[in-house]
Structure 1
């Protein structure tokens, strides 16, 4: 339950209360205008409470999502680099690193008749360079 009292969650709670209060106040204002003879305001009088219900729905869904998720690690337990753990941490407490396996795709012959498209060859060279340099950004490509 402490996860819902972080500064970010307090801001979300306050935003939800402010939005719901504001939307319901706007709905009441539209009801008073509609009662005074403005026919269009009847639609808005229904619409504003629907907006308030939507805000409550999204807030409730995010609360449930946060409570169902794993508890965040304490800052002193977090390791500085991915895949490492503190020296004094027990072996069983170390999280297993996620291993991503490369996708293997069967190579298709370059082109029919031995003629390869120049743009396709340049794009394939670019993709190969990105694959060979996993930490590089697309803007670092020398070609």
Structure 2
């Protein structure tokens, strides 16, 4: 529960309380306006509590996500055991990289980008339309201020 009492989370809690009370107050204000004869205020009287409910929903979802994120440290031998150095960690991948899902489970964070090898299909010389279109594109690139109708080909 200490994760929910960091300065960032305290700001989120305060923002949630302020937004919910403000939205409910605005809803009550619209009910009083609607009772005074402003018919369009009935729609707003329903809308503001829905906004307040959405704020509570997002706040609750973020709380659950934070509490599920990283498990708190357990007391016992696991705390007193020294952490192994990175060089002595077992390598899991064929390229010598460390296994992303180690003994501690999956680690949150960024992974390496996926590299995809590009395979050349061909130069396209056998397709006359493709050659003409590529010539047109190269002409447009060479003449940036020209309009497509100015193409001499």
**1:5 maps onto 2:2 in alignment:** no
Cα shift readout 1:28-75 (whole Å, capped 9, x = no counterpart): 0111111111111111110000000000011111111111112599xx
Q: Which runs of 5+ in 2 are unaligned?
A: 74-81, 90-97, 101-110, 139-153
1:50 is paired with a residue whose SS is: helix
**Aligned position for 1:89:** 83
**Aligned position for 1:107:** 120
Equivalent positions of 1:1-143 (< 5 A) are 1-71=1-71, 89-91=83-85, 96=99, 102-113=115-126, 117=134
> Compared with structure 1, are the counterparts of its residues 60 and 102 closer, same or farther at alpha carbon in structure 2 (3 Å cutoff)?
same
Shift of 1:112: 2.1
Structure richer in helix, relative to its length: 1
Tell me how far apart the structure 1 counterparts of residues 13 and 50 of structure 2 sit (CA, whole Å): 19
Shift of 1:113: 4.0
Cα shift readout 1:4-44 (whole Å, capped 9, x = no counterpart): 11111111110000000000000001111111111111111
1:112 is paired with a residue whose SS is: coil
Shift of 1:109: 1.1
Aligned CA-pair RMSD: 3.3
Q: Which runs of 5+ in 1 are unaligned?
A: 74-87, 121-143
What is the TM-score with the length of structure 2 in the denominator? 0.57
Tell me how far apart the structure 2 counterparts of residues 99 and 58 of structure 1 sit (CA, whole Å): 30
> Compared with structure 1, are the counterparts of its residues 2 and 109 closer, same or farther at alpha carbon in structure 2 (3 Å cutoff)?
same
Cα shift readout 1:67-125 (whole Å, capped 9, x = no counterpart): 1112599xxxxxxxxxxxxxx7315996746555522232211222496x4879xxxxx
